Amino acid sequence: MSSKILDKQGRWRNKTVAFRVSPEEDKKIETAVRLSGMSKQDFIISRLQQKEVTVVGNPKVYKALKNELASVLKELCRIESGGEVSRDLLDTIELITMIMQGMKDE
């Protein structure tokens, strides 16, 4: 038998938790995970335990911010030509703003 792989706190994670989400919910989760720089597992566990998610700036986070800002710009250009502002876009802008504000404070 192979040896058990423990997490940072010495726990053996042998339980699986699974749930279904809509494509829109999945997109929001994936965006938040990318912008946090954390693994999806660590991000979801932190949020479920109502812990604050601290974003540590690194190249991966920088690239995610750059890509998300590009998609926000694309959506804003669409809106400028008479489109409607979606709640998802506003949520993404709010998340980016919080991350950028946190980076500014450091």
Task: Give a yes or no: residue 84 inside a domain.
Answer: yes
Q: How many CB atoms lie within 10 A of CB 14?
A: 7
Residue 17 lies in a domain: no
Whether 28 and 88 have beta carbons less than 8 Å apart is answered as yes
Backbone angles phi, psi at 82, to 5 degrees: 105, 10
76 occurs within a structural domain: yes
Q: Determine the structural domain holding residue 34 and report its residue range.
A: 23-105
Is residue 55 within 8 A of residue 102, CB to CB? The reply is: yes
- Give the model confidence (pLDDT) of 8-39 as tens digits: 777 787 888 899 999 999 999 999 999 998 88
The total of structural domains in the chain comes to 1
Tell me the per-residue pLDDT of 86-101, one tens digit each, with 9 for 90 and over: 888 888 888 888 888 7
> pTM of the prediction?
0.69
Length of the chain: 106
